Amino acid sequence: MRLVDKSDCQLSSVECLRKSVKWYHKFFFHLKDVSMLNAYNIWLVRKYIEPTKKPKLREFVYNVTYQLLEEYGQPTTKIKGRLPNPLPDRIIEAYSRHYPVHTEMVNGQRLRKECYVCNHTTKRPKKRTRVNIICNECKIGLCVGDCFRDYHTLKNF
């Protein structure tokens, strides 16, 4: 009984208990703590360290964790929150390849398409605009001016 109390006392300073409703989560973390204490005791016996110079359990746990992360961990960014979505191709190279052209002629008249921005906008009232100008690269109908610029510079229009 005395050894159980001693191990509980040693574990109390480095416990990694998490608040959880599920019993098996608590059990897992307790097993992890006990296994770290056992590894610490085995390490002390094998190293024959003097009692005055031995590192504390907290330092041992920190070193083991650091070494595991060094070997198996993956680097993360320091940016908090969701990662930003990459910009679509239509925005990145907007001025190098994208420019307005007329639609093709059919029976002496130009084909008319609906303006994509006017039809799918969320920032202004939606309307159906028929245009005969398209983007040469995207092949969608766009009003010359604001809609063409918005489509190729804004992520959400």
Q: List the chain domain ranges.
A: 2-72, 89-153
Give per-residue pLDDT as tens, 5-50.
Answer: 677 777 777 777 667 778 888 888 888 888 998 999 888 888 877 7
Residues in the chain, pLDDT under 70: 1-5, 17-18, 51, 77, 79, 83-96, 157
For the full predicted model, state whether its pTM sits above 0.75: no
Give me the amino acid identity at 36: M
Contact, 157 vs 117, CB < 8 A? yes
Q: What is the pLDDT of residue 150?
A: 83
Entry field: residues in the chain:
157
Q: What is the pLDDT of residue 54?
A: 80
